Structure formats: C-alpha cells, structure tokens
Structure 1
Amino acid sequence: MDSRPHCPKLPWMIDFHSNEDGEVFNSQHQAAFARTTYEYLSALNVKSKPSPFRATKLVCSIPPYITCNTLEGLLALGISVARITADKPGKVREVLSKVRTVNESYSRRLGRINPLAIALEVKGPEIRTGQLNGSDKQIYLKKGNFTKITTNPSYEEFVCKDLIYVDYEKLPEVVQPGDKVLLDNGSVTLTAIECVESIIRCIVEKAGRLLSNASVIIPNAPIDLPLLPPSDKELLDITVGENIDYLFVSGITGKDGIFEIRDQMGQHCDCIQLVTKVECSTALGHIDELITFSDAICIDCDRLMVELPKEKVFLAQKSILAKCNLAGSRRSSPLLPLHQRTLLLRALFYDAAARCACQTDPPDFGLPS
C-alpha cells in the first residue's frame, strides 16, 4: 500500500486511472511537494504524459487596495505571477496573505492547485518631490513659465508652481545649466538655467500635471545614493521569510548592484529569482553583465523613453531579447526569460508618452529576434 500523502491534482498532471495491475499513481506525484522552483524541476518525471502548456506568462501588478473579487477575476484570466506593488512591510504582508488565501480558495473550486508565483519589488534609490502646498491635489506647469527647484527641507510641504522641493541634497552639484530635469516619469520636463547654492532656476520645456511625491530623473547624471535604503532592506527580509518566488530590482546599473542584493539575501539568494529592471541608458550600457548575473531582465519601456526616443527603445528591446535567448541557451539553468512592462492603463487615459511605449511591444513579439 502506498504511504505517500494525498496529492492534489496539479494542472500539468495526468488524471489518476486504473488498469489490470491496480491503481496507477500520478507520474508527477513526487514533484508536487517541492518547496522551491528548482526542487520541483529536479523532481519531474520524464515518463509523465505531456499536457497542454502555455509558454507565455502573464505578470500582473497587484496594488495594495485590490479586492478579493478582483483578484479572483485575475486568476480566472490566467495570470502567472502576482507582483505586489505595496512598499510598506505591513501592507506587503497583508496583500500577500490576501493573494495566497484567494488562490487557495480558487484552487479548491478548480479541483486542482492553481500555480501562482509571487513577486515583490525593491525600488532602489529614488529622488522625489515634496508635498503640494495646501489642499491642491495637483498643479499644472505651463510651457515657457519659469520655476525654481530647491533642496531646502523647509519647503518640503510647500510645493507650488513657483517653487518645487526635491529631496536630493546634492542635486545642485550634479545639475548644470542646460541639463534636463524630468518630473513624474517625464510628464513634466524642466531645463536648468542657473544653479545657485540650493536653488536651481528652470524653465518649463514640456508642460504637464505635477502631483505630490513625484519622481525626479536627471538623465545621465551621477546620483550618489545607497542602492538599498532601509525600507528596501525590510522588503528583502520579507522576500526571504515568506518564500517569495521573484524579486524585481530597480536602480541597478551594473553587476555590483546585483552582488549587493544577493549578499543581502544571503544563502537564500539561490531560491529567489532576481529580475533586474533596465530603465536607463547607463543600464543599457552594461546590459551584458546584467544578463550574466541576473535570473531575468525586465525592460521598463516607459522609463527608457524618458531618456531615449521610441525607435531606440524598440531596437533595445530587440537586442536585449536576442541577448537573453543566447545567454539562456548557454546556461545549465532554464532559459533566461525576458519581461516587458508598460503602463497600459496610464496610456489609455492620459499619458501620450506611455502610449508610445505600448507601441514598441507588438512589433517585438511579431518580428524575429
């Protein structure tokens, strides 16, 4: 009599059946109880009958405010990876628990386990604006108008059209007259005219809306910030403690950043797939070493188009896709995947730049690499 524990039916398993010799157990019974991806892969039985398999995986961003009904709808649509976007440890654990609970409930209704990978993201070094002054939810910066950027913390909660606080103290040292300062992922573009102490006088080159705590990008400028702020280190602890499958990492421009992340995770780094996001021209310049030391590459087209024209981003996608496939074919581990990311909802509603980013994806899927 077989003493193995009861195994729930998994989507890649053949059905249990009987023959003249008695009950025949499922060929992938051993792999069903693996704790990690690699343990599962190493336990697969090559004699198992193949079943239909969708090679293209869907990575879906899960916001902190998502409801259980919405989650279940996403599972029914066939998402493969749930990427939790919350940045506070308490909220991350709350959303993680919700995702796993809903997936367990959905699996019971299916009568089999629904395989769902979980991903977290560490933001890396970021530069942000302050809070808008008063009750304003957004301000509009008109093209041709003058404004000032300050790094004086006294103005952190008093951002207005004429004065914008930025939380990077060394900003006046790295910005020179003529340099571009991009706000909110390029929604607003400023050109520096004059830098005096903690004040940078600018002209609005591209008009747009500005919200509180908007991102600040200075293309090709050296930014002296730690790769892992304290909040990201807490997320790394959650990644290890909660057996997360994928870790998306922003702000990495070379192999040293990857080594720092892996050192922080310690002995658990082999069980977690590290996905390096390519989001600036500096990272593109080191793409070969990023591919070599990463488990996957994520191309952030929206962020790249802040610095590069869309036709260049299209070429970068084609090149990186081919490099990833070549690197994967030379590895003993599974083929290095390529993740592509665009802000579709933002593109649909109000952001022309994001719509351009979406346009580069279909040709890359259709044209040969």
Structure 2
Amino acid sequence: MSRATKIVATLGPSSSDRGVLERLLRAGVDVVRLNFSHGKAEDHIARAELVRECAARVGKPVALMADLQGPKIRVGKFAEGKVMLEAGAPFVLDAGRTEAGDLMGVGLDYKELPRDVKPGDTLLLNDGLIVLTVDRVLGEKVHTLVKIGGELSNNKGINKQGGGLTAPALTAKDMEDIKTAMSFQCDYLAVSFPKNATDMEMARQLANVAGEPWRHKPAMIAKIERSEAIPHLEAILKASDGIMVARGDLAVEVGNAAVPALQKRMIRMARDLDKIAITATQMMESMIVNPVPTRAEVSDVANAVLDGTDAVMLSAETAAGKYPVETVEQMAQIAEEAERAEEVTLRDDFMQRHFGRIDQSIAMGALFTAHHLGCKAIIALTESGSTALWMSRHSIRVPIFGLTHQHTSERRMALYRNVQPILMPAHNERDQALAEAEAVLVERGVLRPGDTYAITCGEPMGYPGGTNMLKVCRVA
C-alpha cells in the first residue's frame, strides 16, 4: 500500500464507459458514488452492475455509495431558460406559480418557503452567487430585492443564510431510491441534509427494511450540509457510520470562512468516535476543464489528508469532466505526498482514550506493538471489519490489511483509511487461518522472509466482535 487516504469518484457521462471506469479504478478509485439526483432507477442498477463487473476485472475491492437527493429546494423553470437579475430590482418567489418564470419572478419546487422566511432574511441562490433579501411575504409569494445579481437559470438551488428551512431530510423520492439502492446492495447510503440523529435513524430503519430480502444492511453516511446539523453533530455521528463534509451547501448556509474550521472539527470528532469521514465538494474543480489542478486545490486536498480524512471525493470532476482519469491520478499523488508529512501520535492517542471492550483493546495493542517493533504490516482477521476500522482511526505508517471471508465487509473496508481489504476463505481452526493470512501477504509481496508483522483474530473463529488475540510473528 502506497496510499492510506481513499478516493471516492462520482459516476456520470464522462465515466460510465467500461474502459474509462476500469482506468479510474486502476488509477486509484476505491469507492464509486452513484448520485441519485440524476437518472432513473434502472440507470443506477445498470451502473452498479457495471462497477461490480469492472472491479472484478481489475481485481480490486470497490465499495458502492448511493447518494440520496434529499429535498429539492429550488426555483422552477424560466420561459427563456434563464434571466439576468440586476442588483436593486424586485423579484418574487411564488410557491403558487404554475407558469414559467420571467424577470419579475419564478415558481418554486419547495412550496413551504413562504412559511419558512420573514422580512429581513437573506436567501442565497445558485450556490450563493445570487443574493436576495426578503422584503415581505404575502400568501404564497415571497417578495425580495436583489442584493447581488447575476444569471439565474432553471432549477437552481435556494439556501437560507443561517439555516431554518423546514424541509424533511427524506422525501418520497428518497424512500423509493432507498429501495433501488438496496436492490443492488449498496455498501454505503449517503443521506442528504439531515438535521439531527432522528433523520439518520429513520433512514437506517428504511434501508434495513428494504434490504431484508437480501439480508443486507448498508453503512450510513450523514452529509453535513445544514447549519442546523452543527449543534447536533455528535448525536448525528453516533447514529451514523460516518459523515461527509459536504462543503457546498454548508458553506452557503454558514459562510465560506467558517467551513475550514468546521471541516477540521468534523474530521477530528469522527475519528474520536470511531466513525468514517469523507471530505467533498470542489476539491479538484478546475480539472473539470483543465488537465492540471490549481495550487489552491492541491493544498486543499493535502490539508484534508493531514486533517485525517478517510477519503477525498470527486463529483463533477469524474462525472462530467474532460479529464476524469487524470484527476484521480493527480489526487492520488497529492494524497501520497501529504501522508509522508504525517506525524504518528499513538502515545497521546492512547493516554486520552479508554477502552471498555476486549476487541478494541486488542486493536490498539496491535497498533502500538507494530509501531514500536517496526512491523511491515498489521493483519486483522475480521468478520465485520470493526477491528480494522478501530485501527484505522490512528495515524500510523504501518499498513493495515483486513482479511475477511465476507464480501460485504471486504467492500466496506475499501473506504477505511490505511486499510487494504482482502478476501480469503473461512477457517474454523485458528492456526490454519493464521498460516493462510501470512501466505496471502507473502504471495502479494507485502511480506518477505525475516519480516515481522502483527496479527489479530478471535478465538473461537467466526464471531463478529470476537477479536481477543494479538500475535507478533516473523516470516520464516
């Protein structure tokens, strides 16, 4: 393993070709994101099948992430497709309007907006490029004055500065999309715009019910996009398996300047709570049209890596960009270079944490031992992947290999920082399993005669959460 940080890439027109997708996986993509804001159910099912086929051809475990659209808080359509708003001009957002919009006003997909705003509120459209101030609310009409003008086209998003829109996190469309995602057993389900832990608990319950025919339960990712989510961040994390620092909508609501500190806080909290963190939005935005990133984008990706994020995510760069493969190659190179500058802080990590479970204590002991002995690898024989996850929460320059006979666990571990998942046959006998694990890593060239490694497992074998043994071995 040369890179600890994982790469999430969004599938779209630029990357749905079989040849391009295989090149993306070989270039370093670990997780493929299916954006349910676009396309029909049959499109997502076909793409999921394509990803699994390409992953098998490449010989690499790849996780599938289904990303729900969430509530559509958008303007309607315009007669001419777009209008040019001038600063100081009046503009009406009309929840009752059915005809196409014009320079005076436009309809709304989100019908509750008149009840969510009051005079003096600031509305930000098209990712904050257009700013409106609410003048008055009359029935279904929100009368505004244009503070910052610009081109406004069909279906652009609306945010309220400071938050406060009451739209539910899960819409009727999301509920149907969950069923679609469970039909191909997505490994991760990303929930857009959750406000609190209840939103995530509801999404998990719906996913578990929809996945019951396949006995499948996906890992849940909360996309932190609303200012209302920030005070409830810890509760949301505890109700989820991880978070996505979704910097686009979040920046519009809390202001651009607040996002970097929030990003660091969210990643740190996720690691402290043994959860996953994904950093997203505009990471390599210029590479949608340019063959190389800007220096600022290089620094952005590197800083996310140094913050300890599990993964960095590409959206339009791989979905619709001109250079999808080159973007992944550049991102992988930046991550590798940043990781060389990371500090190992195991001593501080251990002094500040308490372990109430045997399996967690074994995982921490493996890290500490491998670091001080200079082991070439840490091997976790795992059913669920939990031991590998706990190990991956701490920065260490020793690669972690999660060996499992569960396909679901193998793919899920593809998102864990510094963890390489490997599928191996199930063994009931401990010594047989240990010998097989060593043989797998010797065959892959990870271990050579004379190398030491740490290995963890549970005895008896085959029980999730049963890790209770740590052994240090030397290859004969």
TM range (shorter): 0.7 to 0.9
Residues 84 and 163 of structure 1: CA distance in aligned 2, closer, same or farther (over 3 Å): same
The offset of 1:241, in angstroms, is 2.0
- Is 2:154 aligned against 1:212? yes
Match for residue 73 of structure 2 among 119, 127, 141: 127
Question: Match of 2:12, as an amino acid?
Answer: P
CA distance in 1, matches of 2:298, 2:230: 19
Q: Identity of counterpart residues, as a percentage?
A: 23
Residues 358 and 214 of structure 1: CA distance in aligned 2, closer, same or farther (over 3 Å): farther
Question: Match of 1:141, as an amino acid?
Answer: L
What residue is the counterpart of 2:21 in the other structure? 71
Residues 362 and 280 of structure 1: CA distance in aligned 2, closer, same or farther (over 3 Å): farther
What residue is the counterpart of 1:199 in the other structure? 141
The question of whether the paired residues in 2 share the 8 Å contact of 1:301 and 1:357 is answered with no
What residue is the counterpart of 1:117 in the other structure? 63
CA distance in 1, matches of 2:95, 2:158: 12
The offset of 1:346, in angstroms, is 4.7
What residue is the counterpart of 1:237 in the other structure? 179
Residues 319 and 225 of structure 1: CA distance in aligned 2, closer, same or farther (over 3 Å): closer
- Is 2:30 aligned against 1:84? no
Residues 244 and 202 of structure 1: CA distance in aligned 2, closer, same or farther (over 3 Å): same
What residue is the counterpart of 2:45 in the other structure? 93
What does 1:278-289 correspond to in 2, within 5 Å?
278-289=224-235
CA distance in 1, matches of 2:96, 2:151: 23
- Is 2:365 aligned against 1:365? no
The offset of 1:344, in angstroms, is 4.2
- Is 2:205 aligned against 1:263? yes
CA distance in 2, matches of 1:186, 1:196: 24
Give secondary structure in 1 for the equivalent of 2:273. Answer: helix
Query: Quick check: 246-255 or 86-95, which moved more?
Result: 86-95
Question: Match of 2:131, as an amino acid?
Answer: T
Structure 1: tracts of 5 or more residues without a match: 1-51, 108-112, 329-335
Question: Match of 1:85, as an amino acid?
Answer: N
CA distance in 1, matches of 2:68, 2:88: 36
Question: Match of 1:169, as an amino acid?
Answer: K
CA distance in 2, matches of 1:74, 1:196: 52
Residues 162 and 362 of structure 1: CA distance in aligned 2, closer, same or farther (over 3 Å): farther
Residues 67 and 161 of structure 1: CA distance in aligned 2, closer, same or farther (over 3 Å): farther
Question: Match of 2:204, as an amino acid?
Answer: R
The offset of 1:265, in angstroms, is 1.8
Structure 2: tracts of 5 or more residues without a match: 290-294, 308-342, 346-476
Query: Any idea what the Cα deviations from partners look like across 1:227-265, whole Å, max 9, x if unmatched?
Result: 322221121112222111111110201011011111112
Residues 224 and 358 of structure 1: CA distance in aligned 2, closer, same or farther (over 3 Å): farther
The question of whether the paired residues in 2 share the 8 Å contact of 1:140 and 1:161 is answered with yes
CA distance in 1, matches of 2:98, 2:298: 40
Question: Match of 1:152, as an amino acid?
Answer: G
The question of whether the paired residues in 2 share the 8 Å contact of 1:310 and 1:357 is answered with no
CA distance in 2, matches of 1:201, 1:231: 30
Question: Match of 2:303, as an amino acid?
Answer: P
The question of whether the paired residues in 1 share the 8 Å contact of 2:116 and 2:164 is answered with yes
What residue is the counterpart of 1:340 in the other structure? 279
Residues 227 and 318 of structure 1: CA distance in aligned 2, closer, same or farther (over 3 Å): closer
CA distance in 2, matches of 1:306, 1:117: 30
CA distance in 1, matches of 2:286, 2:231: 27
The question of whether the paired residues in 1 share the 8 Å contact of 2:92 and 2:106 is answered with yes
CA distance in 2, matches of 1:53, 1:94: 32
Residues 271 and 55 of structure 1: CA distance in aligned 2, closer, same or farther (over 3 Å): farther
What residue is the counterpart of 1:30 in the other structure? none
Residues 348 and 304 of structure 1: CA distance in aligned 2, closer, same or farther (over 3 Å): farther
Residues 289 and 217 of structure 1: CA distance in aligned 2, closer, same or farther (over 3 Å): same
Give secondary structure in 2 for the equivalent of 1:271. Answer: coil
The offset of 1:324, in angstroms, is 1.2
Query: Any idea what the Cα deviations from partners look like across 1:56-106, whole Å, max 9, x if unmatched?
Result: 1000011256323321221121100000114421221122233233333x4
Residues 345 and 188 of structure 1: CA distance in aligned 2, closer, same or farther (over 3 Å): farther
Residues 120 and 325 of structure 1: CA distance in aligned 2, closer, same or farther (over 3 Å): same
TM-score normalised to structure 2 length? 0.57
Residues 365 and 56 of structure 1: CA distance in aligned 2, closer, same or farther (over 3 Å): closer
The question of whether the paired residues in 2 share the 8 Å contact of 1:149 and 1:200 is answered with yes
The question of whether the paired residues in 1 share the 8 Å contact of 2:225 and 2:246 is answered with yes
TM-score normalised to structure 1 length? 0.73
CA distance in 2, matches of 1:220, 1:202: 17
- Is 2:2 aligned against 1:62? no
CA distance in 2, matches of 1:173, 1:150: 12
The question of whether the paired residues in 1 share the 8 Å contact of 2:77 and 2:106 is answered with no
Give secondary structure in 1 for the equivalent of 2:6. Answer: coil
CA distance in 2, matches of 1:97, 1:209: 39
Aligned length: 297
Give secondary structure in 2 for the equivalent of 1:58. Answer: strand
Query: Any idea what the Cα deviations from partners look like across 1:29-72, whole Å, max 9, x if unmatched?
Result: xxxxxxxxxxxxxxxxxxxxxxx363210000112563233212
Query: Any idea what the Cα deviations from partners look like across 1:283-333, whole Å, max 9, x if unmatched?
Result: 1111010111110110011222112233321111111121111111xxxxx
CA distance in 2, matches of 1:196, 1:176: 10
The offset of 1:345, in angstroms, is 5.8
Give secondary structure in 2 for the equivalent of 1:340. Answer: strand
Residues 229 and 364 of structure 1: CA distance in aligned 2, closer, same or farther (over 3 Å): closer
Residues 273 and 202 of structure 1: CA distance in aligned 2, closer, same or farther (over 3 Å): same
Question: Match of 1:236, as an amino acid?
Answer: I
The question of whether the paired residues in 2 share the 8 Å contact of 1:68 and 1:98 is answered with yes
The higher-RCO structure (CA 8 Å, 6+ apart) is 2
Q: Runs of 4+ in structure 1 displaced over 6 angstroms?
A: 355-359
Residues 253 and 359 of structure 1: CA distance in aligned 2, closer, same or farther (over 3 Å): farther
Residues 356 and 198 of structure 1: CA distance in aligned 2, closer, same or farther (over 3 Å): farther
CA distance in 2, matches of 1:321, 1:172: 35
Question: Match of 1:145, as an amino acid?
Answer: A
The question of whether the paired residues in 2 share the 8 Å contact of 1:253 and 1:283 is answered with yes
What residue is the counterpart of 2:332 in the other structure? none
